[in-house]
Amino acid sequence: MMSEADNYPELDKKTDIADHETNSSPSEEINNQELEVMETDFEQQPVSETVVNDEENAEPSKADTTEPQTENNELNSVVESLQKEIESLKQELELKEEQVKSATSQFMRLTADFDNFRRRTSREKEELESQVKKKIINEILPAVDNFERARSQIKPANDGEMTIHKSYQGVYKILVEGLKKVGVSAMRPENQPFDPNFHEAMLREPTNEYPEGTVIEQLVRGYMIDDQVLRYAMVKVAMPGENESENTDSESETPENSQE
């Protein structure tokens, strides 16, 4: 008849192992644990190195390749936007430069127009002042003429007349001094050649004392103001005398002319 041990041989082995483990000492258990750890480390080490080598030799993934492309695209877009902004700023700068040139040209034209206007108004003002001055002085000149006639024609006969003569001659002197202060000067055409720019011939007198065309006498005094004629001098002009005219006629009737 078979025993239970014969029917279950594995059970006997486990029992023996348990008995052996129970009977083993603690030091042997520690050594066995160290051996197991070393075996485990030895078995795991090649696997980790293989994994590392596989990772190093592995091809880059799609995520790794797409990231640089994305960065390049972003940089390109930034560069394009900056270039567009630069072009826009250049166009704006050119527009501003054109506006500055136009404004400068307009300013120069306005400045030139203002200078011309100022010179023109200044010239017109001077001309107007000169015209007004001439008009006022021309109204005074007849009084000066009367004083000069009185001085040349009236001869004081006594002390009373001399006193009157000196009094109006004093007024005449004041008038003449005032005219000099405003730039008026009297003409002295006597013994000068007749000049239609300054003289007006009122009479012609035949004479042998003066050359033909010479001013013999000033009938009405002429005046100048600021190198301009204020009033023409009315003068008497010399013309050839009778003897000279007869000699001229006799010279024209020469013997040659009579023989003809």
Task: Quick: pLDDT tens for 123-156.
Answer: 999 889 888 989 999 999 999 998 888 888 888 8
Q: Which residues contact 47 (CB under 8 A, 6 or more apart)?
A: none
Q: What is the percent of the chain where pLDDT is above 90?
A: 43
Q: What's the rounded mean pLDDT across residues 80-87?
A: 90
Cα→Cα distances 133→127, 171, 182, Å: 10, 21, 9
- CB atoms closer than 10 angstroms to residue 223: 19
Q: What is the percent of the chain where pLDDT is above 70?
A: 68
Query: Which has the higher per-residue pLDDT, 246 or 80?
Result: 80
Enumerate the domain spans of the chain: 90-182, 185-249
Q: What's the rounded mean pLDDT across residues 159-171?
A: 85
- Token pair of 179 as six digits: 């005219």
Beta bridge partners of 240: 207
- Token pair of 58 as six digits: 């592995």
Contact 218, 209 (CB under 8 A): no
Q: In what order do the strands lie in the sheet with 199-207?
A: 199-207, 233-240, 215-220
Q: Return d(Cα 68, Cα 58) in angstroms, integer.
A: 19
What is the assigned CATH class of domain 185-249?
Answer: mainly beta
What is the assigned CATH class of domain 90-182?
Answer: alpha beta
Q: In what order do the strands lie in the sheet with 223-225?
A: 184-186, 223-225, 228-231
Q: Return d(Cα 179, Cα 168) in angstroms, integer.
A: 17
Please write the tens of the pLDDT for every residue from 13-47. 444 544 544 444 444 544 555 555 555 554 444 44
Model-wide pTM > 0.85: no
